[in-house]
Amino acid sequence: MKKILSFMFCLIILAITAIPAFADEATVINEVHLSITEPAVGEVPDKNIVPAEPEKYTVEFLYWIKRMYPDEKVDTFETGYEYALVFNVKPVDGYKFAATEKDKNGTAFSATVVYLNDQQTDYCTYEHENKLGRAYVVSFDEEPEKPVSFFRRAINAIKNFFLKVAAFFKNLFGIK
């Protein structure tokens, strides 16, 4: 009887130690694909990121900031500024992001690649197997002045010449 009880006790101990090994097995996510309405000058920022695989990961939170002016609320996108969409992605139960590794400088990074609108996000704000923080940056540069053609410059020069001649004669004869 003691042998049977000892054997059963060993089986119980073995089963209890095996449960955590199986319970911790989560599927690794190597790539995250998200989409959002592409920002445009004069438009209101979209605040709805859509995950390509919502059964694997979700967006925990997001907000838009105007870079260099992070405390300023972003109502519409304006020319001449750079904006960042800051967001966190979290895996659903049963999934985890690829393990965090360290580069040659000792800086930690996740091996999971995050894409927003098919563009890889380069800016990292947070790294962990259970949460990734990223920033997606867009820039709306000032539009360069359009070059003026030779003929347009010639017409403008002739026009300015006659305007100066007219102003001279008006001044000479006292015409207002």
Q: Supply 2's token pair.
A: 């003691």
Cβ-Cβ contacts under 8 Å for 127 (sequence gap 6 or more): 100, 108, 109, 110, 133
User: Which of 135, 24, 6 lies closest to 70 in space, CA to CA?
Assistant: 135
Question: Which tens digits make up the pLDDT trace of 43-73?
Answer: 999 999 999 999 999 999 899 998 888 788 8
CA dist 164 to 87, 152, 172, Å? 59, 18, 12
Question: Which tens digits make up the pLDDT trace of 65-118?
Answer: 988 887 888 999 999 889 999 999 999 999 988 876 666 776 656 678 899 999
Angle at CA 106, nearest 5°, toward 68 and 21? 110
